[in-house]
Amino acid sequence: MNELLLEIADDELILGWRDSEWTGVAPFLEEDVAFSSIAQNEVGHARALYELAARDLGTTADELAFDREPSEYRCSELVELRLPEWERTIARHVLYEQADAERLEGLKASDDPEIAGLAAKIDREEIYHRLHAEMWDARLRDEPRYVEALEELRPLVGRRNGHTPELSTLWEEMTSVRRSQPAGTAW
């Protein structure tokens, strides 16, 4: 079960990080707010899932999130890519939210009440991500660049055997502060 928790947590952390790259530079202000808020939620979900796994593994959420090597992450290739094109970002958002909804349904039915309870809470928040994805899917449905992006990214949804080089680049950025051990810090 910890493997599944880490898989979801890694997906949410990495996707949250990628979504946050739109902060300040989205095509318009509403989407700046939307992607920043979605990113904040995803990282919050990752933290709660890491905390649950960490208790069982005898470690901490921060150690799971930041002290593993890139090769140890279980995220799918879909979330790793840096996608500076809006239509590809939306295509990923739509594909991810669909896959995530199915996975959460399974987790909500878990025998472990803590896991089922957390999955239910996460799912409540994800409703709003799905509505946002649905809205954009309806807007871009007939746009050829968007249709191509969906085709391009769909095979990556469940690809977890290896990682793209982009994960290593993101990992360097994401863990740089923690690895630098600024003066006076103890974590």
Partner 1 sequence: MVTEAQVWEALAEIPDPEIPVISVVDLGVVRDVRVEAEHVHVEFTPTFLGCPALEVMRDAMASRIAELGADPEVEVVLDDSWSTDRITPEGREKLRAAGFAPPTPRGEATTLVQLQSNGFRCPYCGSRDTALENIFGPTPCRSLRYCRDCKQPFEQFKTI
Q: Is 94 in the site for partner 1 (CB under 8 A)?
A: no
Q: Is 121 in the site for partner 1 (CB under 8 A)?
A: yes
Residues ≥6 apart with Cβ < 8 Å to 18: 79, 80, 81, 82, 83, 170
Q: Is 23 in the site for partner 1 (CB under 8 A)?
A: no
Q: Which of 117, 139, 145, 168 binds partner 1 (CB under 8 A)?
A: 117
- The least CB distance from residue 116 to partner 1, in Å, is 8
Structure tokens at 36: 């920043």
Q: Is 112 in the site for partner 1 (CB under 8 A)?
A: no
Q: Which of 56, 72, 112, 114 binds partner 1 (CB under 8 A)?
A: 114
Nearest to 132 by CA among 103, 97, 101, 157: 97
Contact characters 33-52, partner 1, x per CB under 8 A: xx-xxx-xxxxxx-xx--xx
Residues ≥6 apart with Cβ < 8 Å to 174: 17, 66
Nearest to 45 by CA among 120, 133, 131, 157: 120
- Residues 22, 32 contacting (CB under 8 angstroms): yes
In 116-176, beta strands by DSSP E: none
Q: Which is nearer to partner 1, 134 or 143 (CB)?
A: 134
Quick check: helix, strand or coil at residue 176?
Answer: helix
Q: Which of 27, 82, 85, 128 binds partner 1 (CB under 8 A)?
A: 128
- Binding region for partner 1 (CB under 8 A): 30, 33-34, 36-38, 40-45, 47-48, 51-52, 113-114, 117-118, 120-122, 124-125, 127-128, 131-132, 134-135
